Amino acid sequence: MYSKEKQQLIDFGNKLIDENYTLGTGGNLSLYIRKTETMLITPSGIPFHAIQLEDIVSMTVAGKILEGNRKPSSEWRMHAIMYEKRQDLTAIIHAHTIYSTALAILRQPLPASHYMIAVAGKDVRCAEYASFGTEELADNVFQAMEDRKAVLLANHGVLTGGTSLADAFNVLEELEYCSKVHLIASSAGTPTIMSEQEMANMAKRFKTYGQADK
């Protein structure tokens, strides 16, 4: 079941590797089919380029395996809590991007030093540290990502969400870009942070950005 959606997970997992947003088996991706309450998630410990359709795990957000012989990603709780408690998300990407992870290692949030961070929210918080794969980490990440589509994971990486994998990947790309320019600017001086009023304006403008539906 859901072969099209499973292929999307494989394709975007490969894209993470091809565009140097993670290495080896670092990171995981999922989709949520809300109509059937089914979470599709990449398997644990298999390199992205080696994942096949049959390796994608179908499960409930409570952890029950519905289809597949592989172990789901060790971070499945971090995905499940988002789908269980947020109605606006149906796709999650977790990766170990360089610049966003550098901020996470510093345990610093990403402020609005560049307006494009508005794709994720008015800023991006850094979740409190917890060991990977734990319920504690899932809880910390959920809390820090409130009202946002991205969160930094202390000493770990980044997680983004969206209405599709393409949406979540776009947030990941913009977050990585904004993290990079913020760190470069910080090395030369003190970045100027945009006001909350202007970021609220950006959020409104982004809703009508792009090609209008016909």
Per the residue annotation, which of 75, 128, 174, 198 is the catalytic one? 75
Q: What residue ranges in the chain does DSSP mark as E strands?
A: 28-33, 38-41, 57-59, 65-67, 91-95, 126-127, 150-153, 157-162
Residue 9 near residue 56, CB atoms below 8 Å: yes
d(CA 107, CA 200): 25
Q: Per the structure block, which two tokens stand in for 93?
A: 């990407």
Q: Note if 174 is an active site residue.
A: no
Contacts of residue 170, Cβ cutoff 8 Å, sequence gap at least 6: 119, 162
Closest CA to 30 of 94, 74, 84: 94
- The catalytic residue positions are 75
